[in-house]
Structure 1
Amino acid sequence: MDSIRSSQITEGIQHISESVFVGLCRKVGTSQLVAMRRDVVDIWEMVKNQVTTSDEDSTMVSGSYGEGLRLEGSDVDFMYWPNNVRVIWESSQSQYNNTHRLTLILCDCSDSPPGFTLLYLLSPRTNRFIHRVCVRMNNRYYVSSSKYRQITLLSPHNLTPHGPCVSGTFITVEYDHAHCFVSDFWPPSASSWIDRCHSWPHPHVVDDIVKNGCHFVAIGHKLGNYEDHEWRISFSQAEQKLVSVMNHCQFLTYGLLKLFLSEIINNGVGDDDKLLCSYHMKTAVFWVIQQNTIPHWCPQNLLEGFWVCFKLILKWVYEGVCPNFFIPGNNMFLSKIHGIKQHQLYRRLSELYEKGLAFLLHSPSIRSCIIDVLYNPRNSICTDDHTLISEDGFDRNLFVEITYPCVIPGKFNIQSCIRYLQTIEQIKSSPLLTQYQVIMLQNMTARILQYTAFILHMETYTPDNKLSYRADKISCHMLKLTAQFGFITDMMFLAMYYYKTLRYTEALSIIQMIKVKLLQPYVMYTGSVDREMYTEAVGGQSWSTKMRQAVAWDITLDSRFHYISELIPEQQSALQNHWSLLFVPPFILLYMLEILCYRHVDTMRAQTALDDLQTLVHYDQGQYIPLRHRHSSYVRLIELKYRDISWQILGICQQVTGNLQAALYSYQQSLRQEPFNHIQTATEMRIQRVCQWIPLIN
């Protein structure tokens, strides 16, 4: 009887596990979605790093974003390291580096805690930046981590310190930039990790991780002798590789632990009192997988895997020791979880342990999955990828992913753009590209062609010049290409170019074409779409076809150069506020261009277009001026409040058509909106000018 009851309990837990697995697939992502996210980030990194020159920085998207997680509230982590600097572990390794081209730095771990090191200059060739952040100790020049952090804080982007990183916000998404150094060699202090990898990961993965070395981030150990000058050894690249070779159940267990941390452990807790972090959760998953505690990870035992990880974390808190996965001697609790705080945390976790898995009911993300099974215990649960997300749902995710991160050349000139296009062309010929990477490269090409076309016009335009004529033909050709394989809204750049070069009839022809396409009921805009209409119109088509025919996006104007003269003050205002992009809803820009063009062709139609724009700005309820933007199909609804730029553009159009009172009202309304595009300086300037003109006219 007891065995029957035990069997029933086991079956019940397995059934709940399957339900939680499905819920996590919807919250965290299916295996196909996660693979797509990683592929998109990987190809972006590949292009960007192949384009960078020896005196520029390489880039890596690290942390949960690079691993394929898209959880609400998670930040995006970037690592940057100079290409002309290398760190070595012993002097003999200098023979593998070009000392005439590189600045060499040697590690000195002799007096630092495990996982940390001092870095001193070995190479006589030292760039000026490195020299600025050095301190002299024991007749050597050491690179100081604290000085290095101070220099990175001088960035013009208004960033704030956050551990070894500097933090900022882009479209309400927080990001961390870690400026670091790279070593092509594996740390000797982590050699025991190689010997420990018997069952996981596979030997070829271990070899790949080891040959890619490690990084050094600018932060010392709080209990070390040289906290201000030490550097922490970072295994971010290795960790990203390990997460990528997890099976999907293991990956979702990692996601569940992150949700458990944010929604239960740290819920309502101030930042200073958050003792556990997501890195501890990741470390627990690594140890549990490698120790082979659970021989077979599958949807039926997902909760078992979670429970084993939770018990390991509880053990670590009790002992006050959290061993780093690569260097176990590095106790990651040492400087933070001890004394009274350690006891309080252990008591809290113990209370959760006593409740059993029922404490997951306190997680908003998981509660419904468990309750559904409890109320409907006989319902069958399908864990297949294709049943968990529809075609349009996957497409929404894909098209959002390929627009983030934005592709913006570091050195903003023709040469940089050409290098991008050449690199993309070379990579496109690789047979190893996934279908997701191909569509990402297509989108990147469209972006770079747009930049190139407008830069070419800026750099070559002079009246009655043959060079300008040839450059104009090339620019037009580039923008026509982007209209052929970009989003529907990419055609807008061709319309802007025609207006900029006084070809109003051609611009109006493109505007009408865009308007017809945008008004189709199946068009996907900022992730929102009529599923049935979309499937009926483009279901089963290639993603390239869907992009051209059924997907619209917001118009992103880079403030470093000018598209149309009417928006120059707004771009300058944004730059003054360290904001390099203007985000404009497509219909707002469409009507603006229509008004500006018709002023030179047909004033009656210009007034009609102005009336349409006014109606849109005054009465739209989020259909054409989005109130929020879907960064993922399931999570992270980013509030994109475009009302500031929408009211501003209405005011500009009213002003150029002579209605100054209406323009003044629109500018005042723009100031009252959330300053998303950072155009307040331009708005105040326009209000001043309008107020000067109104008495003269009256």
Structure 2
Amino acid sequence: MGSFRTLEMIVIQNISEAVFVGLCRKMGTSKIVAMRRDVMDINEMVNNHIFTSEEGSTMVSGSEREGFRLKGSDWDIMCWPNNHRVIWELSQSQYYNTHRQTLILCDYSDSPPGFTLLYLLSPTMDEDIQRACVRRYNRNYISSSIYRQIICNVSKNHSIQHGPCASGTILTYEFDLAACFVSDFWPTSASSWIDRCHSWPLPYVVDGILKNGCHFVAIGHKLGRHEDHEWRISFSLAEQKLVYSMNHSQFLTYGLLKLFLTEMINNGVGDGDKLLCSYHMKTSVFWVIQQNTIPHWCPQNLLVCFWVCFKLILKWVYDGVCPNFFIPENNMFLSKIHGDKQHQLFIRLYGMYEKGLAFLLQCPSFRTYNIDVLHNPRLSICTDENTLIPEIDFDQKLYHEMQRNNMIRKLDIQRCMKYLHTIEQMIGSPLVTQYQVLKLQELTANVLQQTAFILYMETYTHLNKMSYRVGKMSCYMLKIAAKFGFITDMMYIAMYYYNTLRYIEALSIIGMIKVNLAQPYVMYGYNVDTEMYTEAVGGQSWSTKMRQAVAGDIILNNKIHYINELIPEQQSALQNSFFSLCIPSYILLDMLEILCYRHVDTMSAQTALDNLQALVHNDQGQSIPEIHRNISWQILGICQQVTGNLQAALYSYQQSLRQISFHKIQTATEMRIQGICQFNPSGI
């Protein structure tokens, strides 16, 4: 009996280790997760430092910010005005200059735990807030439902209301935008949480959480007396810091619960019938860690950790009570999980519980991790994270993360200078990590490129000494940027030379870029020759790798004109609140070569056009990701049109319309098709 028990423990530990390894590969090692967080943190820190109090701050929260990159994960974005602050007591007003900041006072005397009413202590100049006010008891209360609706109507992309958020799409990512208010003070109703923090989180984490206060999102309690006007207290920033403070086994337990929720509990269930959500999973992990139920969170214990959290969720469903981690009196099941729905959910979960850990074998992700262990119970599994992800795989994830977090908010010359000054201050800070230094270098290149073209737009019509000096300055900035960024960042120099009619110089730069891109070790996205890359730049700094061996897409800010031939596409995208065009480097390179050769060598222009056509027609995703096929067909059509082949151009534009509508350029495509048909109606 004892030996059987020992074998059973060995099997459970081995399966736990196999799951740990599988989750590391699916969700990232602790090093990869830390890198993702660092890149997002520094990007947000720089952006929020630049903008004035009137423009407000933003924060990415939820799974993306926590370090997950799971398929279907939304971006949760919170935004709030910096010139409005929420206080809990009138005495806290002494910390503010009321001439510069509008104060809002909480009134939670008649609201359920975790919710409050907000009323203005003084008039506000913000028109949206003014329109959201309702008069009660001779006070101006800010109605959450009215404010939420106003924010949803601000942009076409934000028109779908989802809970307290406006939902839409940025690039390929679905997002939920929550308009909030912020308080610099910890909620009075959450003071008991401080007293519970004996062993977790550590004191410095608790202090950081308390100093950052909380937020208020625009949604009331469904069973509250003032649902339309109440605001929910949000602890998103505190939760982010708690997740950051987890060890990797705790983080992966949370990840396993998220997978289990998606693949088992909510599989086949309609959105309206999904009673449990990821937030409940996270809350269970918080409670289990703080109550010290599990003494050892480690790879060998991963299934035990999962099982303890699952049993806690099962108990919550049975009791109909899920206590909020910060305000336990706030029962998060109260308005959703009760009656027949509660009973049916408990029956389902208890059926899984009765099967024991074996029911996890039905979870697709879990099944792929432990198949070898099931056939060989005594199989030895290495859980050393340093051996799980090869150097090149980490590099791919790092550069992918940098490029997916390169959104810079609206720029003008003054803000460009602020960006560069802020980056200069941050890059020398001892608190900045190695990943953040790399991201700051890439941001520097990005800002310099946009500054150069903004200066060009403002002076190109003036043929005087000043425009000559600005031109030299712009060109110098682009050359400096090329030393910080990816090897494809030289493309901005070529675009600038083309705009200033220096076609031979542009072609010289294009030739250099072609030579660099032709190297067998170049990494583009996830396409790379592993051996050649490792041989060429393995072991070197990430900055060196980025400059010498990594190609990126070219991002064009749609409010800046880079190439006249692409202005209609940029304007079409802007009309749909799409603020940038992302173009595959190989496509833009061929386009620039065609446009330049048109002025110096028509035969070479035709050769370049043939190359572009072959690339667009035949590429299998190596140089043109699927989401970029519409802009690629569009650019082929533009090049065919400017060289006089209208029939081919019409076909390319029609193909562009058939692709995934990623760049929102349909209006430009239809306009170009109409122009061709009007120009030559009988020949098309």
Q: Structure 1 length as normaliser, TM-score?
A: 0.96
State which drifts further: 225-234 or 164-173: 164-173
- CA distance in 2 between counterparts of 1:535 and 1:151 reads 53
- CA distance in 2 between counterparts of 1:193 and 1:687 reads 63
- CA distance in 2 between counterparts of 1:672 and 1:369 reads 39
Read off the aligned partner of 1:586 and give its amino acid letter.
S
Deviation for aligned residue 1:125: 5.1
Deviation for aligned residue 1:695: 5.2
1:279-290 matches, within 5 Å, as: 279-290=279-290
The residue aligned with 2:226 is: 226
Instruction: After superposition, give the CA deviation of every residue in 1:416-469 in whole Å (9 maximum; x if it has no partner).
Output: 111111111111110111100000101111111111111111112224211111
The residue aligned with 2:659 is: 673
1:445-594 matches, within 5 Å, as: 445-594=444-593
Read off the aligned partner of 1:668 and give its amino acid letter.
Q
- CA distance in 2 between counterparts of 1:197 and 1:468 reads 62
Read off the aligned partner of 1:665 and give its amino acid letter.
Y
Q: 1:656 aligns with which of 639, 642, 653?
A: 642
Contact 1:103 1:127 in 2 (8 A): no
SS at match of 1:158: helix
Deviation for aligned residue 1:272: 0.2
SS at match of 1:275: coil
Read off the aligned partner of 1:694 and give its amino acid letter.
N
Contact 1:409 1:417 in 2 (8 A): no
SS at match of 1:343: helix
Q: How many residues align?
A: 683
Contact 1:407 1:448 in 2 (8 A): no
Deviation for aligned residue 1:157: 3.8
Deviation for aligned residue 1:696: 7.9
- CA distance in 2 between counterparts of 1:553 and 1:367 reads 36
Contact 1:220 1:227 in 2 (8 A): yes
Contact 1:449 1:479 in 2 (8 A): yes
SS at match of 2:404: coil
The residue aligned with 1:254 is: 254
Asked if residue 436 in structure 1 is aligned to residue 406 in structure 2, the reply is no
The residue aligned with 1:102 is: 101
The residue aligned with 2:199 is: 199
Deviation for aligned residue 1:626: 2.0
Contact 2:556 2:582 in 1 (8 A): yes
Contact 1:322 1:331 in 2 (8 A): yes
Read off the aligned partner of 1:307 and give its amino acid letter.
W
Instruction: After superposition, give the CA deviation of every residue in 1:359-378 in whole Å (9 maximum; x if it has no partner).
Output: 11122211121222111323
Contact 1:27 1:365 in 2 (8 A): no
Contact 1:496 1:564 in 2 (8 A): yes
Read off the aligned partner of 2:339 and give its amino acid letter.
G
Contact 1:320 1:337 in 2 (8 A): yes
The residue aligned with 2:112 is: 113
Alignment identity in percent?
A: 72
Read off the aligned partner of 2:98 and give its amino acid letter.
T
Deviation for aligned residue 1:697: 7.8
- CA distance in 1 between counterparts of 2:107 and 2:511 reads 66
1:149-298 matches, within 5 Å, as: 149-159=148-158, 160-298=160-298
- CA distance in 1 between counterparts of 2:408 and 2:201 reads 36
Read off the aligned partner of 2:375 and give its amino acid letter.
Y
- CA distance in 2 between counterparts of 1:167 and 1:511 reads 41
The residue aligned with 1:607 is: 606
CA RMSD of aligned residues (A): 1.3
- CA distance in 2 between counterparts of 1:692 and 1:79 reads 47
Asked if residue 346 in structure 1 is aligned to residue 346 in structure 2, the reply is yes
Contact 1:651 1:663 in 2 (8 A): yes
- CA distance in 1 between counterparts of 2:444 and 2:114 reads 41
- CA distance in 1 between counterparts of 2:682 and 2:207 reads 77
State which drifts further: 563-572 or 155-164: 155-164
- CA distance in 2 between counterparts of 1:229 and 1:124 reads 18
SS at match of 2:336: coil
Read off the aligned partner of 1:324 and give its amino acid letter.
N
Instruction: After superposition, give the CA deviation of every residue in 1:490-511 in whole Å (9 maximum; x if it has no partner).
Output: 1111111110110101100010
Contact 2:444 2:484 in 1 (8 A): no
- CA distance in 2 between counterparts of 1:533 and 1:429 reads 34
Q: 1:98 to 1:498 in 2, by over 3 A?
A: same
Q: 1:84 to 1:583 in 2, by over 3 A?
A: same
Deviation for aligned residue 1:138: 1.0
- CA distance in 2 between counterparts of 1:517 and 1:214 reads 49
- CA distance in 2 between counterparts of 1:417 and 1:690 reads 40
- CA distance in 2 between counterparts of 1:360 and 1:494 reads 55
Contact 1:59 1:79 in 2 (8 A): yes
Task: Structure 2: give runs of 5+ residues left out of the alignment.
Answer: none
SS at match of 2:333: coil
Contact 1:407 1:444 in 2 (8 A): no
Q: 1:689 aligns with which of 631, 652, 675?
A: 675
The residue aligned with 1:390 is: 390
Deviation for aligned residue 1:126: 4.8
SS at match of 1:228: coil
Deviation for aligned residue 1:211: 1.6
SS at match of 2:140: strand
State which drifts further: 237-246 or 649-658: 649-658
SS at match of 1:161: strand
The residue aligned with 1:337 is: 337
Instruction: After superposition, give the CA deviation of every residue in 1:584-610 in whole Å (9 maximum; x if it has no partner).
Output: 111111111101101111111111111
The residue aligned with 1:379 is: 379
